[in-house]
Amino acid sequence: MNFTSTIEYYFYLCRLNFSTMDFVTILDYIGTFAFAISGIRLAAAKNFDIFGAYVVGFVTAIGGGTLRDVLLGITPFWMNQPSYVIITAIALIFVILFRNKLVRLDNTFFIFDAIGIGLFTVVGVEKSLDAGFPMWVNIIMGSITGAAGGMFRDIFINEVPLIFRKDIYAVACVLGGVVYYCCLWLGCGHVLTQVIAALSVILIRILSVRFGISLPSLSPLEQNKG
């Protein structure tokens, strides 16, 4: 297969995937775009080159889902079709075109990151549920999908991962998973459940930062003197 045929094949796969999208896939793509932008934006702020920024954005976008799929014993989702590679490239172009505005806005990274963890939490819960796992596993897989990509991003740019600080980050994903099952218990429709769960994660994350709500830190044990 020559280069031209390979490109045509990739675009065929993308067209096929877009033509069969369900709501979860739409959430997945939007979350991928949002998370990729959050990673690329931070890489740009640290003067990474274009390739390095793309790698950070891609790892941010697919890191949590890859870890989830490995734990579930299935082929990582991005290996089955090239949409995620292309969406990350689109996110890179977006950041390049609007770089000055994005870097100057301190809250841009935060907003895209909050959107990403909210959407990815729902995607993780749904994929684990489809794989036949119980509720508690689904909530954990949703949390991993939402939070692990940001952890990999922070490691790549040499920052302490948010999930290891006092910020309400992974906890927001856990609460979003609980909200998901509460909506199911209340008899909400499938799409409505997904939307409410995603919004709950986003709102918890935004409100916790807005009002300075955080988890207590674990202080070291005091050593006896003398």
Average pLDDT of span 28-42 = 90
Q: CA 19 → CA 7, 83, 88, 192, 199, distances in Å?
A: 18, 12, 20, 22, 26
Predicted confidence (pLDDT) per residue in 116-155, tens digit: 899 999 999 999 999 999 999 999 999 999 999 999 999 9
Calpha distance 208→215 (Å, rounded)? 10
Task: Give percent of the chain with pLDDT exceeding 70.
Answer: 84
Task: Give percent of the chain with pLDDT exceeding 90.
Answer: 57
Task: Please give the residue that has the higher pLDDT: either 130 or 223.
Answer: 130
**What is the reported pLDDT for 224?**
54
Q: Over the chain, what is the mean pLDDT?
A: 85
Confidence band (pLDDT; 50, 70, 90) for 20? very low
Is 120 in contact with 65 (CB distance < 8 Å)? yes
**What is the reported pLDDT for 111?**
83
pTM value?
Answer: 0.82
Domain ranges of the chain: 21-210
**What is the reported pLDDT for 167?**
76
Per mean pLDDT, which range of 7-16, 18-27, 114-123, 203-212 is the poorest? Answer: 7-16
- In terms of Cα–Cα distance, which of 21, 111, 120 is closest to 67? 120
Does residue 35 surpass a pLDDT of 80?
yes
- In terms of Cα–Cα distance, which of 33, 34, 29, 35 is closest to 154? 35
Task: Please give the residue that has the higher pLDDT: either 17 or 200.
Answer: 200
Calpha distance 100→118 (Å, rounded)? 26
Predicted confidence (pLDDT) per residue in 56-94, tens digit: 999 999 999 999 999 999 999 999 888 999 999 999 999
